[in-house]
Amino acid sequence: MIRLQGVELTLSGAAGPVQILRGIDFEVEAGEAVAVTGRSGAGKSSLLAVIAGIERASGGSVRVAGAELAAMSEDELARFRRDHLGIIFQFFHLLPTMTARENVALPLELARRPEPLAQAAERLAEVGLGHRLDHYPAQLSGGEQQRVAMARALACEPALILADEPTGNLDRETGEQVIDLLFALRRRRGTTLLLVTHEAELAARCDRRVELRDGRIGP
């Protein structure tokens, strides 16, 4: 599902170029759940951004779902994300002027799926929010907003979910509920999961864990 070979990422900083990822070799098999851990600044979120094609690698090969991302244009990358990836962020990134149902329907509309609002209602029911379809983000709790974000990420039934500290903005109890739901949905669909977290207990729920240290995969 994911194969990185010799991946480098260098970004411009105020004092000059900053090397974020340094020769990353990394694979994730289809159906695996893999946790990426490491200290703040180790490059975890940057690694996910490269795998999602949000950041272009400065060197090396990034293959996801059989496709070489370096060969794609920006439009092709956007379509690839739409068709193959679901991304869950620490901050929910819901559109405040849209209801929960409309937020979840958006990727379905972009993918030209039939009856997107009806499908969105089904996805929200899956995450326990069938009674909150027409509420706006400001009317929802943090846990409910993250559930909407999860339903949106899973709306098009992607083969791969990338989750970047999905519980980082939630209290412990709410975070556990959200993660229980994420793993249950993943098992039901056989989805591949790559999860960035600093929580050892959450990492232990994955099939395996890799650690990033100063932009490199640790031993």
pLDDT along the chain (219 residues), means of 10: 95 85 94 92 92 94 94 92 88 92 94 93 91 95 90 91 86 85 86 92 92 86
Q: How many CB atoms lie within 10 A of CB 40?
A: 7
Q: Is residue 155 part of a domain?
A: yes
**Angle at the Cα of 218 (from 212 to 219), degrees rounded to 5?**
155
pLDDT, residue 91, reads 80
Q: Is residue 208 part of a domain?
A: yes
Q: Is residue 4 part of a domain?
A: no
Half-sphere exposure of 78 (CA within 13 A, CB side): 6
pLDDT, residue 219, reads 65
Task: Report how many domains make up the chain.
Answer: 1
CATH of the domain at 142: 3.40.50.300
- List phi, psi (to 5°) of 8: -120, 145
Q: Is residue 61 part of a domain?
A: no
pLDDT, residue 55, reads 93
pLDDT, residue 61, reads 95
Q: Give the separation between CA 190 and CA 83, rounded to whole angstroms.
A: 16
Residue located via tokens 């496709």: 67
Segments forming the whole domain that contains residue 40: 31-54+74-217
Q: Is residue 17 part of a domain?
A: no
Q: Is residue 79 part of a domain?
A: yes
Q: Is residue 9 part of a domain?
A: no
Q: Is residue 68 part of a domain?
A: no
